[in-house]
Each structure stands twice: as structure tokens, then as C-alpha cells.
Chains A and B, each alone.
Chain A
Amino acid sequence: MGLPFEAARKVAEAAQSPGRPPVIWLHFQECTGCSESLLRSSHPTLASLILDLVSLDYQETLMAGSGEQAEKALEDSIKENRGKYILVVEGAIPTQNGGIYCKVGGKTAIESLSRAAPGAAAIVSIGTCASYGGIQAADPNPTAAVGVSNVVNQKPIINIPGCPPSPYNFLSTILYIQTFKKMPVLDQLGRPMFAYGRRIHEHCERRPHFDAGRFAEKFGDDGHRQGFCLFKIGCKGPVTFANCSVQRFNDIGAWPVSVGHPCIGCTEPDVVFRTSIFDKVQIHSVTPPDMYPAAVVEVKGKGADPLTTGVVGLVAGAALGAGAMLVKRLPKEVGDDKSE
């Protein structure tokens, strides 16, 4: 989270405090990948997250209850914890034809969100779908899917985009709110700066290969096998703001680029599902390469080009000839004229 060392104690105290913040988690148009990503976190583990850290009042994937019972839990929590709960939204919200393309418990996504949002202390959009619409909003977007911020306003919304997002970016955000009772600093796309403040490219382990001009030109070629930079096979790292190259995934230091796949820019609304995975991006923050111009360049003239020499010779010859003719035709000296 980019906090000073002393803050660790505060965070630990907040994590152990008895007042667990209630969390309501709504699923809409999604693949549950974000939940799955969270299930694989180990510090804290999911068990300690939902048993010790937060009071997870409603989460369709994890909750034991179902049907009427589950819906009642949701309704109770919304009423009881009004103004206190953190609303987590996973998945995009369809808006076409009154939003009928996603219904849970007989209610459309818009209805569920409109019911839960007003009482929330803060809304966390987990994943690219909830943040910006994600794959559902990709062209031609038949259900007119949008992100949470397009439906809800006048509520603080934190976007944790990613497909899936790093679970630690989500957990850190929750812990931050719990510890400091305020929102983390966000960028212009509503993402916490501590996690999305820099480009993938800036901390990528393959960056030295980029600087040295060593690229994988296509999947499976020699450069790809040797672990060279994936830029030319479509890596979006240079335009993607996220901490994947530092935080990585699955608690074993793996992430797409480490296993040879280019970054697809899943935290960027204008990149993922908008451009081809294999298209090269334009690099805007250009830096010097790992190469040097020579200290002294011995400049040698190109020498005379035969064609130029010929043309110049012809023109000069013609000029000489014309000059000679002109001189011949000139009237003789002035004195001679007078004598005539």
C-alpha cells in the first residue's frame, strides 16, 4: 500500500478490531473469476478474511444459504447496516431493454444495485467488468453493459480493475478503508494509486530485453524461448497501469508475462477488449535504449555521383558554348563603331 513501516501496527490493530465491517457482494454479468482470484489469496486467507476481517453478509458464490433465505440476508443487511457496509460489485450491468439480460432473485442488475448502493459507505468495483463494462461491453455490446460508475453516482466508487484483479489490491483497499476510515488516493479512472500508479513496463522483468532491442517476433520463435521482450507480439505493458509485474499472482510469483504471454492491458478500459491481444501499442513515454551512438563519427563525403557529374558537365559545357557564341556575336569595340 506504500505506507510507512509504523503503519503496519495500525493496520494489524484495525484487522483485529471486533467491529468487522459488513460487506455485501453482488454478482452481475461476470465469470466469477474475480471471486476465484480472491479465493486463492493466502495472506490473509479467505477464511480469515470472511471470518475475522469482514462480515460477509451476502456473496452468492460463498454463502451457505440460498433462495429466499439468501435474499432475506441481503435485505436485512441493507437495512441494519445502512451507511456502514461496503458494497462490492463484480460484473457489468446490462442496461438494454430495461436491463433484463441479468436477473438475480427476480430482480435485474440495475434494480439490485439501485437497492444496495444508497446505503453503502463505499462501493468497490472488483474486476474490469464492474469497473468499465469489461468483455460484456466489448463491441457490439448487445446488452449495453456498463460499469458501476455509469449507473451509480453520488457515492465514492473505487475501481479494482483486472481480469482477474490481483486479490491483494482488493484486500489492501478494504484494509486501507478499515484502518484509516477514508478512501485511498485514486487516479482519474478511480483506481487506487498504490496499486495502479505505474505502468507494467516500468517494473517488468523483461524490460532489459526491451531496452537492448531483443524481442520475441512471434510465438514460439527463438526469442520467445529465450525469454525476450514480448512487445512485438502485442504486450500492452507500456500503456497499462497496474502492479502485476511487482505483486504477481497466485502467491508463487507467476504472472502472464513471466510465462511468455504478453500483457493484454486488462486494467485499461481503452485497451482490453478494444484492441487485439496481438497488436502492438504506441509507446508514449519513450526512454533511451541500451545502445550508444559512436563518440566520433568519421564523416566522409559521399563522393561524386556519376549521374550528377555527367549532368553538371553537360550544363557547364552548354554554358561555355553559349558564352562563346555570344561573344562572337557582340558588336565590335566602340571605337570601331565610330570609325564606320
Chain B
Amino acid sequence: MISQSRRGFLKCFGLAGTALAVARAGFASEGAINDNGVGLLYDATRCVGCKACVAACKRANDLPPEKGSFDPEGLWDAPADLDGKTRNIIKLYRGSESVWSYVKVQCMHCMKPSCVSVCPVSAMQQDADGRVFYDKTRCIGCRMCMVACPFIVPRFQWEKRFPQIVKCDLCKFSEVPRKGKPACAGVCPTEAVQYGRRRQLLAEAKRRTEKNPGRYRSYVYGEHEVGGTNVLYLASAAVSFDKLGLPKLPYEAPAAFSEKIQHRIYKGFIAPLALYAALFFIAVGNREELGEKEEGR
């Protein structure tokens, strides 16, 4: 009886697993890259470094202040980088007295996000508008997203007992439902941060670079990097993007590459079935061999 029920269970399990794998593979192959999601265009030449976006982000998303290393009394909200309390920050590149630039740092909202690809429990997700967001109820705290992100964006609440991942979600749950645009784009006094459809933002970025070749670097960062990002950057002609902490990255999305391999192997549950079939035949073969030996003795 026991063997009967076990066999039944295994059968069920195998069927369910196959169905699931097929379904997943089917979904992934359908998921063509959406190049018209919503995103931000950050123009470093317009930014005046007022940090209104930093303060507004914290207010909108109810994030606590972070003390700076130079500030033991906690007078300011002075994070040195993105962290478990900070989704958005303005940094400064100072090359010389005349060559310098501010840079806004937040999630790039990759069109093919690695964090979503590596997340084993779909806590990192991408919505139909291309926004990459985090679902704390699913997260198991493995922090694979932190390892996978080429921009080192997802951060962990190390100091908390039940920590979560903290990253920009373009105010998907806070400011966008209320005011229609993320807090940073809504508060910027110089329109250095603009919110919109990626295609329109990209066209606007190209219009600016073509119109003012002396002012801008003739390159839109994020157009192609790791398969393209929904957050696009324009920089001053005098400052290269890597100086702003935006690294040179391949144009192919690593997630697309790895998923191509993974999904091909697991398509229709073929690889596991093949593996178990091979093991089965080896086992049967061994048993026969063993049986012959036993008989021989």
C-alpha cells in the first residue's frame, strides 16, 4: 500500500512539475522586451543639486533619515550612497573647479532586469509599464538581486530584524497613484528629472544632444546598456559617464542570455526528465549486473 501511494504521489508531482515548467517556459518566451515602459530622463546639465528630489523621495515613500559618517548628532539626512533607507540620492563628481557634475542615482529600471531574472520567488517583478518593483511579502532575503544588479541598486536593511530590500519603484505605490508622477520628477525645480514614456524621453534626449552638441555628450546612457534601461541619462560634454558612476556595460542583457540557456534546457521539463531517465537506466543496468553476479555465486 505504501509503495502504491508513494508511486501515486510521485506521478502527481512529476505531472505538476512538468506542467509548471512548460507554463513558465512558455511565459518567458512570450515576454518580449517592452521598450515603451515608463521611466525617467535625468539631465545632469540641468541639475542644480538642490536635493529636493532626495527629500521628496523620503517623504513620499516614508523612509527614515540616514546619518552621515561625519554627523554623529544626526542633524541631517546625509546618506553616502543608496542604502536601506535611501532609494534616491544626488552625488557630485568634482574633476576640477570648472569640470564637475551632479548625478542622480536610483534604480535604472532595466528593460530586461537581472534582479527579476535571478529572484527565485518573484519578489522582484517587472510590471507592464516596465517598472521594476519589490514585493516584500514574497522575499526570502536571499539577496540574489543585490548580486545580480549591474548598477548595485538594491540595498538591504541590514540593521533590521526582519529586513527588506530597498530600491526605487518609480513611486508605483506612493506618489504615482496620488499625483501621476514620481516624487523626484514632481518636485524638481529645473526639470532635470522628467517622467514619461521611454520612447518619448529617448526622443527628447536625442533632440537635446543634437541641438546642443557643445553642451551635451552625444550619447544617451541607458539607451543600450544591458539591453536598455527605462531611466536615461544625459551628461555634460566635459564629463564622461563613468565619472558619474555609470559604468561601461555591454549592450546585451545578461538576464536575456542566461534565461535563453536556462529556458532552453528546461523547456518542456526535458533536461530533468532526461537526467532521471539516464539515472533510471543506469540503476536498472546495475541491478541486472548485480543480479547476474548474485546468481553466479
Please report A residues at the B interface, Cβ cutoff 8 Å.
210-211, 213, 231, 280, 282-283, 286-289, 291-297
Contacts and interface: CB of A to CB of B under 8 A. Distances in A.
B14 interface: no
Interface string B57-88: 00000000100100101111111110000000
A231 B75 contact: yes
B287 interface: no
Given A293-B81, A293-B92, A296-B93, A288 B243 contact: no
Given A288-B77, A288-B78, A296 B92 contact: no
B49 A286 contact: no
Interface of B: 49, 51, 54-55, 65, 68, 71, 73-81, 89-94, 101-103, 242-245
A237 B19 CA distance: 65
Candidate in B55, B75, B81 with the most chain A CB atoms within 10 angstroms: B75
Given A288-B90, A293-B91, A295-B243, 12 more contacts: A231-B75, A283-B74, A286-B65, A288-B54, A289-B77, A289-B78, A291-B68, A291-B78, A292-B102, A295-B103, A295-B244, A297-B80
B55 A287 contact: yes
Contacts of B77: 286-289
Contacts of A294: 91-94
Given A295-B243, A296-B245, A289 B75 contact: yes
Contact of B75 (A286, A292, A293, A295): A286
Lowest 8 A-B CB distances belong to which pairs?
A292-B92, A286-B65, A295-B93, A289-B76, A288-B51, A295-B91, A293-B80, A286-B77
Contact of B73 (A280, A291, A293): A280
Nearest to A284: B65
Candidate in A289, A293, A297 with the most chain B CB atoms within 10 angstroms: A293
Contacts of B81: 293, 297
A289 B68 contact: yes
A292 B90 contact: yes
Contact of B244 (A210, A231, A288, A296): A296
